[in-house]
Amino acid sequence: MKKELNIALVGTGGIGQTHIERINDTLKGGNVVAVSDVNTDFGKKIADKYKLKFFEDAYEMIAADEIDAVMVTASDEHHEEFVVSAIEHGKYVFCEKPLAPTKEGAKRIVDAEVKGGKKLVQVGFMRRFDKGYLQLKEMIQSGDYGDPLLMYCAHRNYSDPAANWTTATTIPNALVHEMDICRWLLDEDYESVEVVLPKSSKHANPQLLDPQIMILTTKSGVRIDVEGFMNSRYGYDIQCEIICEEGVMNLPEPANAYVRSDVAIKYPIFKDWSYRFVDAYNIEIQEWMDACLEGRTIGPDAWDGYVAAATSDAAVQARETGETVKIELEPRSDFYKSI
Ligand code: ISE
């Protein structure tokens, strides 16, 4: 068995760079050795910064004999082409969320993987590796509190003018995390989705209605209210409350010391997701590399990416039409066994 993976990374923006740093400086079992970016000048700068080989042609990089595994951190609309290329070369591929911005794109990835006959894809739904969410899942599965009936979730970003949020990108880029994590926590698929648009914040840019409320209903009837607020103006804040028949559970706040001062008790919260979920990212990528070295996959797979994309498409349609939209999925192949 190989001891270290040579990893090629496509897309050298913010998340790509944090993955290069965590893999090359903190984690064990692999190194990012090569990168590619559609923006050649920028990609070359990043390659120089981290002393990596730069490929102008990402497909050539993915195909190269020296590359064992691929990481796709390109912009969402380019995920599909690189993930499919990795699959066609029989290489393990970690793709940041969303697997693809549409259901059709994600389905083409699923089809390519099934055709190749081997599971190779992991999707970057890092919350599944977060200690707090894992504790919630364990509590639900214990059955000690009865069945979950309702969930209240909030996904609040501080406010990042550079992120250029639009009403259309909030659902597939941000709320897609909620779609995946709630389905994983409850271990069941969704029946339908609605979206409600309350009064919009004056801090939202003109292309964004903010906040949005997405209401998911699972097959067994659990109702999940998700607030997506891209301009909270106070921090990056993720909330999850699960109302069960005999108890109510909450996602723990990240542990931060607090101070009594100035007639108040204060403790800091994170401003950005990369800090809030840093441990989850590290565990996720470490486990991905361990699994690749052992010739297997773990965590959210291409089917999970497809379900999230189908849910996200339905939510977009629900927002546009004001209707409750049924979430239709293709039949799941035995290739993908469980949620
Ligand atoms: C960002 O793209 C992410 O993926 C974060 O995990 C998410 O919480 C955030 O809202 C997005 O901006």
Find the helix packing angle between 176-186 and 302-321, rounded to 10°.
120
- What distance in Å separates the CA atoms of residue 295 and residue 92, rounded to the nearest whole number? 9
Is the CB–ligand 1 distance for residue 159 below 6 Å? no
Does the beta carbon of 125 lie inside 6 Å of ligand 1?
no
Q: Is the CB of 173 under 6 A from ligand 1?
A: yes
Name the residue with the closest Cα to ligand 1, atom 7: 174
Q: Is the CB of 232 under 6 A from ligand 1?
A: no
**Which of 133, 251, 273 best tests ligand 1's pocket when mutated (most atoms within 8 Å of CB)?**
273
> Which amino acid, residue 224?
I
Q: Residue 262 in contact with residue 252, Cβ under 8 Å? A: no
Q: Is the C-beta atom of 177 inside 6 A of ligand 1?
A: yes
Quick one: tokens of 278?
Answer: 């840093």
Atom number in ligand 1 closest to CA 163: 12
Ligand 1 proximity of 157 Cβ (cutoff 6 Å): yes
Listed residue (40, 169, 126) closest to 10, CA to CA: 40
- Tell how far the Cα of 174 is from the centroid of ligand 1, in angstroms: 5
Digit-by-digit pLDDT tens for the chain (339 residues) are 678 999 999 999 999 999 999 999 999 999 999 999 999 999 999 999 999 999 999 999 999 999 999 999 999 999 999 999 999 999 999 999 999 999 999 999 999 999 999 999 999 999 999 999 999 999 999 999 999 999 999 999 998 666 688 888 899 999 999 999 999 999 999 999 999 999 999 999 889 999 999 999 999 999 999 999 999 999 999 999 999 999 999 999 998 899 999 999 999 999 999 899 999 999 999 999 999 999 999 999 999 999 999 999 999 999 999 999 999 999 998 899 766
Distances (CA, A) of 323 to 47, 135, 146, 149, 167: 47, 35, 31, 23, 17
Q: Is the CB of 174 under 6 A from ligand 1?
A: yes
Read off the amino acid at residue 62: I
Residue 192 backbone dihedrals phi, psi, to 5 degrees = -155, 170
d(CA 272, CA 276): 6
CA of 146 to the centre of ligand 1 (A): 32
Residue with CA nearest ligand 1 atom 4: 174
